[in-house]
Structure 1
């Protein structure tokens, strides 16, 4: 069964600390891949941190890294701050729109983005790729997690239904094809490194600056 729709600002209940049920199910699997691709030390910029649950979990799992969460939504920023309160290796969350031409971060050793590209316009993904080129050092990883389409792999019925529901919510949203993302990344000098199959028909894509 696919993960439920992630927490979206439009569905906000008003509580300061948000909860995306999928995070508790996928965080261990994501952390296992992060252990292989993240640098041992340095700064990790997370784009579209959402509720902040992933950032809090990963910051505890990888204490030698400095974590910089971000999100464009004010209510998400408050939730991130709540989840990450007391964690000495997490900086205060920043308001960052992935599609913006300039981010308030000059450099990061790794860039992580979980469950954003399918619930945002294509311009946000292009902005994410452009931002990775700006902030990452040579060899720095861009790590994307979420559901994707692949021409050579039949789309799971749950992902097809999810894609339809996203497009009904906003026609600019929907699952992207791995080849399309990789082509846009390559055009910006980002080298595709690996694709990792994840639970619930999700993928991790890793690119290197």
Structure 2
């Protein structure tokens, strides 16, 4: 079995995110997680919220790590991860909710545009999109730590960067999504919730 990948940030942010998910996803639902990363969030949320079927997804090279977490947890509500690159094939089914954490600033802007353009094909009418991560507002960083984080991102890849909330919300509106809440989270992050009209 492959060694489980580990991200310390998942341990830091999982409880504040779980608090939001408990409120927003309080009924049985099929959830698609875009960019499941290590798989840590998936097992934590699926264990705490057994009424949700938590469908992980990642690029092909990351799926073994996600599966290692799922295999160890042995939860009944976590099917095997889907191979999903936003520019490639998407699932041929609908979900009640789509969740993604710390992905928009890792993807290139064209990939973010593609993600939102493809959402209507997988998100049911009335379904929720829940996005966690940092955002800029009015073209400005919301904190010095986010400005420093941006520099760190750009050093890793020129295509990365903290996204402007207004630009992301415009993509959501084009995809038929309505802003429900933009909630402040610890460490200058946000949890933004949209609903499909």
TM-score (ref. length: structure 2): 0.93
5+ residue gaps, structure 1: 1-14
8 Å contact kept, 2:136–2:165: yes
Alignment partner, residue 201 of structure 1:
188
Equivalent residue pairs, number: 193
Alignment partner, residue 169 of structure 1:
156
8 Å contact kept, 2:10–2:40: yes
**For 1:63 and 1:177, how far apart are their aligned partners in 2?**
34
8 Å contact kept, 2:135–2:141: no
Where has structure 1 moved over 4 Å in runs of 4 or more?
Answer: none
Matched, 1:81 2:67: yes
**For 1:99 and 1:122, how far apart are their aligned partners in 2?**
12
* CA positional deviation for 1:139: 1.1
**For 2:92 and 2:43, how far apart are their aligned partners in 1?**
20
Within the candidate set 25, 32, 40, 2:12 is matched to 25
8 Å contact kept, 1:69–1:94: yes
8 Å contact kept, 1:16–1:78: no
- Larger deviation, residues 126-135 vs 65-74: 126-135
Within the candidate set 183, 196, 200, 2:170 is matched to 183
8 Å contact kept, 1:49–1:55: yes
TM-score (ref. length: structure 1): 0.88
8 Å contact kept, 1:39–1:109: no
* CA positional deviation for 1:42: 2.0
**For 1:42 and 1:105, how far apart are their aligned partners in 2?**
17
